[in-house]
Amino acid sequence: MKTFIALATSIVLLSACTTTFTTQSPAEKLSGYTYIPVDPFSVKTNLGGSCSPSNETASVEGVDVGKIEFSTILESLPDNAVRMSVEQFSASGAVTYGPAGIGAKGESYRVTVDYINADTTNVQLWISKRAENYSDKKIEYVPLLLPNNGEYTYGTEIYEVTREKPTQNVEMYAEYNLPVYVGIGLRVTANIDVTGTTANISGLGAIGAEAESNHLKGSLTVQTLGVNGRAIAAALPIQSELNRTTAQNAIVAIGSIKALLYEQDTIVVPRVVGIYLPFPGGKPLVNAIISELSKDRVVWHRPCVEKSADEPT
């Protein structure tokens, strides 16, 4: 019965993207705030705030970590979410992020639907932006949050991102806190070329139907994020062609794997699964951020099991 409920829930969530994800918040409309899925990479686990003072020294490498009583991985990840991201690829090679909706003929998209159990950690970044002045064609430093009102040439933006406060040209950088999602999950990705006049790309069900009607073509990928095990591997579909059947199979696979997350034989390892972009920016900025994050593992503060007052430490 639990498996059926989990499967039904996943089908509703993944098929209802038309109503869930087409509406942008005011922040998204005005500032381009958006969720960006990333290829998962490892994190560095430190002691969280709920860990007792006697355990704090165990976070130092070389100390006996057996004294640490961490909460289980799934207990340590307080948030559940289904998130959808759409990347649009223009003929010039530019990539922009936006809401799901209607695709136009000749356009290409990557639609990603994530189901994640996650915690959010903040990473401090220093970001510098340069762009070509439209009038004199000179490369100038530009405030990251300054709207481009035709003063700078689109597509000439150059970003520099670092975690350390710069020692040179520090006035050209601004400090930001980037929300990073650490957790486990499941991901379905559809790479789409619109071949009809228009195509509905607002959800996996809609995408499968449009592929069946020859309004678009593409491929479909289902992957796990920090989740492994024999039953997990067996539940993954192997078809990559995009059509109504494979879209439905992907939804069923997500529901099946979701029901296995709490099984004893399922291996779960926290990973960086996405970021939340708190300022406007396209692919060059996102790539610069991901490159900087992957240089040194993102620190995740994992909570410990809370002991009762009369329990010995």
Ramachandran bin of 86, using left for φ above 0, alpha for ψ from -120 to 50, beta for the remaining angles: beta
pLDDT in tens, 294-309: 999 999 998 887 655 4
Is the pLDDT reported for residue 167 higher than 70? yes
pLDDT in tens, 138-151: 999 988 887 777 78
Angle of helix 244-260 relative to helix 204-212, nearest 10 degrees, comes to 150
Is the pLDDT reported for residue 14 higher than 60? no
pLDDT in tens, 175-233: 999 999 999 999 999 999 999 999 998 888 889 999 989 999 999 999 999 999 999 99
- CA distance linking residue 191 with residue 62, whole number of Å: 45
Q: Which amino acid is at 304?
A: C
pLDDT in tens, 243-264: 888 888 888 888 899 899 989 8
pLDDT bucket at 92, cuts 50 / 70 / 90: low
User: What b/e sequence results for 164-190 when a residue is b if at least 16 CB atoms lie within 10 Å of its CB, and e otherwise?
Assistant: eeeeeeeebbeebebebbbbbbbbbbb
Q: What is the mean pLDDT of the chain?
A: 80
pLDDT at res. 19: 32
pLDDT bucket at 91, cuts 50 / 70 / 90: low
pLDDT at res. 243: 87
Q: Which amino acid is at 295?
A: K
Is the pLDDT reported for residue 277 higher than 80? yes
Q: Locate tokens 């789409």: which residue? A: 192
pLDDT bucket at 4, cuts 50 / 70 / 90: very low
- CA distance linking residue 79 with residue 77, whole number of Å: 6
pLDDT in tens, 93-143: 667 776 667 888 888 999 999 999 999 999 999 999 999 998 888 999 988
Q: What pTM does this model have?
A: 0.81
Is the pLDDT reported for residue 275 higher than 80? yes
pLDDT at res. 99: 67
